[in-house]
Amino acid sequence: MAVHVWIWLVFLPLTDAVWPLPQKITYSSHSYLVSPRLFRFQYARESASQPGCSVLDLAFVRYFRITFPGSSVTDSDQKYSPSHVDALQVITADSDCDGYPILESSEDYMLEINEGISTLSADTVWGALRGLETFSQLVYRTDDGSYYINKSSIVDFPRFHHRGLLLDTSRHYLPLKAIFETLDAMAYNKFNVFHWHIVDDPSFPYESYTFPDLSRKGAYHPQTHVYTFHDVMKVIEYGRLWGIRVIPEFDTPGHTASWGKGQPDLLTPCYRKTEPSGKYGPVNPIMNSTYSFMTQIFKEVSTVFPDSFIHLGGDEVDFTCWKSNPDIQNFMKQQGFGTDYRKLESFYIEKLLDIVSRYGKNYIVWQEVFDNKVKVKPDTVIHVWKGTSSQYNVSLANITGAGLKALLSAPWYLNVISYGQDWRNAYEVEPIHFNGTAKQKKLVIGGEACMWGEYVDTTNLTPRLWPRAGAVAERLWSHASVRNVSDAYIRLSEFRCQLLRRGIRAQPLFTGYCDHEYERD
Residues with a known catalytic role: 316
- Are the C-beta atoms of residues 320 and 280 closer than 8 Å to each other? no
Which residue, among 289, 350, 283, has the nearest Cα to 317 in the 3D structure? 283
- Which positions ≥6 away from 9 have C-beta within 8 Å? 24, 26
Which residue, among 341, 434, 448, has the nearest Cα to 384 in the 3D structure? 448
Distance, in Å, from the CA atom of 476 to the CA atom of 498, rounded to the nearest integer, reads 20
- Are the C-beta atoms of residues 488 and 474 closer than 8 Å to each other? yes
Which residue, among 239, 265, 254, 232, has the nearest Cα to 314 in the 3D structure? 254
DSSP code for 272: E
Q: CA-CA distances (angstroms) from residue 400 to 162, 163, 404, 441, 442?
A: 16, 18, 5, 7, 9
Which residue, among 230, 228, 197, 234, has the nearest Cα to 212 in the 3D structure? 228
3-state secondary structure of 348: helix
Distance, in Å, from the CA atom of 479 to the CA atom of 501, rounded to the nearest integer, reads 27
Distance, in Å, from the CA atom of 114 to the CA atom of 85, rounded to the nearest integer, reads 7
- Are the C-beta atoms of residues 176 and 234 closer than 8 Å to each other? yes
